[in-house]
Structure 1
Amino acid sequence: MGSFVFTSGDQRILADTGFGPHGEMLGYPAPGELIADFERNGMGLDSITTVFLTHLHGDHVGWNLREDLPNRPLSFPNARYRVHEADWEHFTTDELLADLYRGEHTRRSVLPLEELGVLELMVGETDLAPGITAFPTPGHTPGHMSLLIASNNERALLVGDILGSPMQATETDFRYTPDWDGPMGIAARRDILDRAEREKAIVIGSHLSYPGWGSIVRWEGRRYWKAL
């Protein structure tokens, strides 16, 4: 599971916050290391100005707060946390919040953002910083969003869980994990892969092979994601 940092002028945007310290609760053997990775790279947590959440599944919001500290402060104290309105509405229903397993990460890592006054909901295409634009790619969740990063003549697309496995670049109908709306998820995947080819954009994915970015290539008429 990857999180990514993008810089534009004096803006620094973090895309997703990973598992948090409770990865084992989501069926993974180890906690997420996002905070430690910031320290290893000499990057201050207070340097992040926007936390962009592709969607609100537990493996993407786990370090919204410092779950490893007693008072659970915001992990990124100077940031606004931004997510699509449709995901907020979907994941904060009474039915989902009452679910012992599915509602746990929302109760712990998502609801406090509103209480702390740092949550900003997006509806459509939204400019986060010069050259960095969020746009809706629903299907995996109702409000799943992706990013276009544009610099000079280069393009990159951060696709979240629209492309959850390199295999899906070739087999676009394959679903490795349940989508909220399967046909919509397939359509979003095909659209974003077509766009990546058309614009010769790097494709960045949360669950793709390390380091998580690559290009779309063709071999014998079929499309593949190739790590860079």
Structure 2
Amino acid sequence: MVKVLRFMFKRFKYCYLLLFCWLSFAAQAQTAAMFEFGTGFQGDEWMNYDAGIAFGYSVIKGESLNKGVSLTGFVGVKVQKFPLVSQASLREDEDKFNGLTTNLWNFPIFMGLRSAFNVFEVKKGTGNYIGVFPECRLYFSPFLPRKIDYLEHQEYPEPDIVRSIKGERMSQWANGFGGGIYYGNLNRAFLALKFETNSIDLFESLRPLDYKNDVFGKQARQYIISLSLYAII
């Protein structure tokens, strides 16, 4: 019986320790929101836009540092749109393929960490700083784009025919990292200019299709530049 009580006491002791750590974290954490909008490219294809929204917690480490350093963990979702408009000269047979006109959409879910560091105060006493930050992310795309539409040229007077082909349905994991500069207050809100590179391969399910693969190029990373608004809510 004594052994049982000792065992239960140890278990409860660890539970109280975990609870104490959680309360300490919650006492310093602040709920944060982030909105971003940008553009970029993958291979030879330019992205029309890349927009996302995320929510998380900003952890402030200690009273002496609460104006200079923050660490934010977040989860969110973004939307990417690639408008593909390819030239006939990209294909071996210009008479057969007359152009690809398809908007490819991707909706990756992501989680990540951002650490921000104040560099200098813009004007003394205002609380607004210029700073820098690194960031890393893990992406999951539940459904990659797998369908393309193109025009097949017909001999005059026959009209061109719109063709559609579909690839394999698949999902994808990817990683990303980047960083940039920001202006504002870490405990209220700031604007950030960020450069990111990630391994999202939007065309993975499309390359095996019976189509001229040069339009999608070889597997390549995405490069994105974006402007984001970060705020404590």
The TM-score, its normalising length taken from structure 1, stands at 0.21
Higher relative contact order (CA 8 A, sep 6+): 2
Higher helix proportion, which one? Answer: 1
Q: Which has the higher strand share?
A: 2
Rg bigger for which structure? 2
